Structure 1
Amino acid sequence: MQRRILIADSIPANRVIFQVRLGDGFFRPLLTSDAASCLRAARRERPDLIVIDCDLPDMPGPQVIATLRADPRTRSLPVIALAGPDTPQKRLAALRAGADDVMTRPPDMAVMLARIRNLLRQREESQMMSRAWGGDLPERLGSEMLGLAEHKGSFQPVGPIGLIAARAETALHWKHKLAPRLREHARVLAPSEVSGYGDQTGQSHVFLIAADTGTHGGGLRLMTQLAGASPYRHSMFCIVAPETSDAAALAFDLGAHDVIDPEVTAEELDLRIRMLLRRKQRADAERNSIEAGLRLAIIDPLTGAYNRRYAFPRLAGIAEQAAVEGSEFAVLVLDLDRFKSVNDRYGHTTGDTVLIEVVRRLRENLRIEDLLARIGGEEFLIALPDTTAAEAHRIAERLRCVVGDTPVDGGNGVELQVTVSIGVKTGGGPMAAPEDITAMVDEADGALMRSKISGRNIVTLSHSPA
């Protein structure tokens, strides 16, 4: 599907050029000649990106951008502003209003198309959050639901900021352009200091890199190397290159988050670095939220043990590995004895305390490769890879003792004697067929029931007589 690019430019010849060049770039142009029609089209058509000239006849471009950012329907749309040469205040006004970039009019179309592709890719990445929630959430709603909404004055610029140029004097010049608050976080780095991916530079939040660092295109190669290295994978990269150069277009296509001209004013450089730091802060918050969500999908929030959703696929993997290696493994199903009476007598808060403590004791007596999962209210599943029947029985007895031998502190001076009943099923072995894990768990559960019938606080193997 063609991406739709909304153009707001009052000069007919410019609109014709945009129509032709955007069409050549496999985009679908939507053309408007003033601010009012641009705003209507943005709300009605919901384009993928907007290009706005700062000198529209009925409203200044920065005001148009501010209006777009204030409307929930258009707030998240990428915006490129166009400003005439030698108009630094208009450029700053557009950036402060919320433009993603400001380019000099008339733009180099190769660079413009590269920047459009770049911003659309970035937007696609940012929409991952909405898709993770099962739909296209409005930006503010999604941010508030996930705890990412920014409060006024909450953003504090942080570093470190890496400044990399062929000559240290050039990087020092950039550093002195920054306001004191950012300058203290900026560090001049030689290309050799980071090209080896060492930890000596710290994990920079923003890299400002000259397109040519010693060799033609050396800065671009360094950026791609850093972006693929673990310490810097989530950093923001800004390339310093002439706005109308091939290097600028290539930088955008290689994934640079911004490109600035070597003659950028101190005020604009400072503002663009702050914008990148803000994006870095938000990207980190979104990524952390996604990781937390993924963790919650597989972890029981009360005890920290894995949940049923994770346990059974993991158990299937253990069974498959055992079949490949010809090794044995074991499945244990545990249940806390008479746990309902704990909740009934002392309340669910005390019951939760007991569950948490039992899981702690179990985890401390299992190996790293063992699986511990909560599969019911007070029922747990343990998988023991590379474990014989005799070893599984000894482990089960040890777990029974570490739970039952020491009372659990239930809080408020309450000490509870807690015991567990355990059922054990082993499988695998040389020449054995792959095990049916559902059947194994059912057999372990059956052995658990026999432990309960036999008086509780007992370990029963699945082949033991009923």
Structure 2
Amino acid sequence: MVGKILIVDDVATNRIVFKVKLGAACYQPLMASDGKSCLRLARETLPDLILLDLVLPDLSGIDVLRSLRADPLTADIPVLMFSASLDPQARLAALAAGADDFLTKPIDDTILMARLRNLLRSHEALAELGQRGATLKALGLAEAQSDFAPPGLIALVTERPELAMRLRRDLAGQLPDRVVALSREEALAEGSLGTAPDAFVIDADLGGEGGGMRLMSELRSRSATRHAAVVLIHAAPRSEDMAMAFDMGANDALPLGLPAGELAIRLRTHLRRKKAGDRLRHSVQDGLRLAVIDPLTGLYNRRYALPRLASIAERAEATGGSFAVMIVDLDRFKAVNDCWGHAAGDQVLIEVARRLGDNLRGSDLIARIGGEEFLVALPDASMAEARQTAERLCHAVHRQPIALPDGSELSVTISIGLAVAQGPTIPSPERVADVVDRADQALLVAKAEGRNKVILSRTAA
């Protein structure tokens, strides 16, 4: 999708110049000449990024920015502010109000376009995570996240001790976060600090020209540091170097000697966004986990079990091996609920699930696929091994009564239907359901023949 960029500038010539540049880069430019128009268009069109002038005829750019950040609809839209003013206090105020960056006119085209690409990529990645999390939350598969954010960990990576000392001194007292100095090797050594840094401030000339970007690429390739914020510090920045840093994924590319207050504000912003991204990722991961887990027993559910069973069958077919499928059903479970109550029934299901799991291998699959029905799959299991395992499961459930919530005890049994696919009898993945059906038919026989027993599929090899 073409990125929509809202240009906010009271000078028509400036708006037209931006429009031509953005149009040539295949963006969709929108234009506003004052703060109120900006706020209205931002709510109506929800642009992917806003280019906002500091000085506007009706509202200051900073007031507009604060209004954007206060509105839930526009709060997360990246805002790139610009101005001809060299006033450092205005720059700090803009960054503190939530600007993603602040560029001074005349703006270098190379840096501008690289920064736009950089911010749009980051915004799209977080927006996608947010949409997934919202979907899972709507389905009841995501838990609310705590607003509490512990102090972060910032790593300064440079081979110049004087630079590390200066940066630590500048940041001391301005951030609640822990700041440590690391060598390149220490930055890449996972676990050296007990936890991965949330942000890296890297000397762009680490180990020679371009060394900082090479280290950043290494950090981005590793799972522990892939999402950390990265700020590159350039001693003598060139526009092409800063543009390349943005295109390679740096969150910021800054000149050496930047005022300590500005560096601290930028780091606070990057840490806040990194932690927000972490929360979204954790929410999505938790939601996906909940989507395939039975909430009562903690076992996998049918949604997970059937595709996993298909992959077990594929592997057996490729290696010429075998696998077994069991359908396990609690005997007379309706009577448990009717006589003892649903709380007792839940306790029975939980304990039976635990006993089944405790008597299987780590590579085996167990899932709850119905009210009192479980599916067990045994990769690389022969008929004799599968039958022995099934008999062990029956014994594990029956040998000891289950304690109920009221302190009483109840003995329960299970019936198992067993089917084995071996050698040339292994079906194609889309026919795995036939093996499950064979096991299900064997289960019906076990029920009919008195329960608490294992019956092999009559057509098993």
Give the alignment's TM-score, normalised by structure 2.
0.92
After TM superposition, the structure 1 stretch with the greater mean CA deviation from structure 2, 67-76 or 347-356, is 67-76
> Contact 1:91/1:102 (CA < 8 Å) preserved in 2?
yes
Measure, in 1, the Cα distance between the counterparts of 2:4 and 2:177: 42
Measure, in 2, the Cα distance between the counterparts of 1:407 and 1:118: 62
**Which residue of 2 is the match for residue 187 of structure 1?**
180
Gaps of 5+ in 2: none
Aligned residue pairs, count = 455
**Which residue of 2 is the match for residue 357 of structure 1?**
351
State the one-letter code of the partner of 1:426.
V
Q: 1:380 to 1:149 in 2, by over 3 A?
A: closer
**Which residue of 2 is the match for residue 2 of structure 1?**
2
Q: 1:243 to 1:348 in 2, by over 3 A?
A: farther
**Which residue of 2 is the match for residue 234 of structure 1?**
227
> Contact 2:417/2:444 (CA < 8 Å) preserved in 1?
yes
When the two chains are superposed, the root-mean-square deviation of aligned CA atoms in Å is 2.4
Q: Deviations over 1:396-440 (max 9, x none)?
A: 0000001110111112212111111111111122x4452632121
In the TM superposition, residue 258 of structure 1 has moved relative to its aligned partner by 2.2
**Which residue of 2 is the match for residue 344 of structure 1?**
338
**Which residue of 1 is the match for residue 98 of structure 2?**
98
> Contact 1:175/1:183 (CA < 8 Å) preserved in 2?
no
State the one-letter code of the partner of 1:116.
L
**Which residue of 2 is the match for residue 444 of structure 1?**
439
Q: 1:184 to 1:385 in 2, by over 3 A?
A: closer
SS of match in other structure, 2:206: coil
SS of match in other structure, 1:180: coil
In the TM superposition, residue 388 of structure 1 has moved relative to its aligned partner by 1.0
Measure, in 1, the Cα distance between the counterparts of 2:325 and 2:454: 12
Please identify runs of 4+ aligned residues in structure 1 that moved more than 4 A.
144-151
1:273-284 to structure 2, matched below 5 A, reads: 273-284=267-278
**Which residue of 2 is the match for residue 199 of structure 1?**
191
In the TM superposition, residue 14 of structure 1 has moved relative to its aligned partner by 2.7
Q: 1:290 to 1:24 in 2, by over 3 A?
A: same
Are residues 1:114 and 2:89 paired? no
State the one-letter code of the partner of 2:60.
P
Q: 1:83 to 1:410 in 2, by over 3 A?
A: farther
In the TM superposition, residue 464 of structure 1 has moved relative to its aligned partner by 8.8
**Which residue of 2 is the match for residue 21 of structure 1?**
21
**Which residue of 2 is the match for residue 262 of structure 1?**
256
Task: Give me the identity figure in percent.
Answer: 46
**Which residue of 1 is the match for residue 11 of structure 2?**
11
In the TM superposition, residue 179 of structure 1 has moved relative to its aligned partner by 3.8
SS of match in other structure, 2:242: helix
In the TM superposition, residue 208 of structure 1 has moved relative to its aligned partner by 0.8
1:158-173 to structure 2, matched below 5 A, reads: 158-173=151-166
Q: Which of 231, 236, 240 is the equivalent residue of 1:246? A: 240
**Which residue of 2 is the match for residue 374 of structure 1?**
368
After TM superposition, the structure 1 stretch with the greater mean CA deviation from structure 2, 85-94 or 436-445, is 85-94
In the TM superposition, residue 120 of structure 1 has moved relative to its aligned partner by 0.8
Q: 1:244 to 1:155 in 2, by over 3 A?
A: farther
In the TM superposition, residue 256 of structure 1 has moved relative to its aligned partner by 1.2
SS of match in other structure, 2:50: strand
In the TM superposition, residue 85 of structure 1 has moved relative to its aligned partner by 4.8
Give the alignment's TM-score, normalised by structure 1.
0.91
> Contact 1:166/1:212 (CA < 8 Å) preserved in 2?
no
Q: 1:130 to 1:162 in 2, by over 3 A?
A: closer
**Which residue of 2 is the match for residue 301 of structure 1?**
295
State the one-letter code of the partner of 1:254.
M
Measure, in 1, the Cα distance between the counterparts of 2:211 and 2:226: 19
Q: 1:282 to 1:240 in 2, by over 3 A?
A: same
Gaps of 5+ in 1: none
In the TM superposition, residue 148 of structure 1 has moved relative to its aligned partner by 5.5
SS of match in other structure, 1:263: coil
> Contact 1:179/1:270 (CA < 8 Å) preserved in 2?
no
SS of match in other structure, 2:224: helix
> Contact 2:141/2:287 (CA < 8 Å) preserved in 1?
no
**Which residue of 1 is the match for residue 49 of structure 2?**
49
Measure, in 1, the Cα distance between the counterparts of 2:448 and 2:278: 53
> Contact 2:145/2:279 (CA < 8 Å) preserved in 1?
no
SS of match in other structure, 2:427: coil
> Contact 2:313/2:323 (CA < 8 Å) preserved in 1?
yes
**Which residue of 1 is the match for residue 39 of structure 2?**
39
In the TM superposition, residue 131 of structure 1 has moved relative to its aligned partner by 3.8
**Which residue of 2 is the match for residue 58 of structure 1?**
58
**Which residue of 1 is the match for residue 454 of structure 2?**
459
Q: Which of 382, 388, 394 is the equivalent residue of 1:394? A: 388
Measure, in 2, the Cα distance between the counterparts of 1:128 and 1:445: 41
> Contact 2:46/2:74 (CA < 8 Å) preserved in 1?
yes
> Contact 2:141/2:291 (CA < 8 Å) preserved in 1?
no
State the one-letter code of the partner of 1:162.
A
SS of match in other structure, 1:232: coil
State the one-letter code of the partner of 2:170.
K
> Contact 2:204/2:213 (CA < 8 Å) preserved in 1?
yes
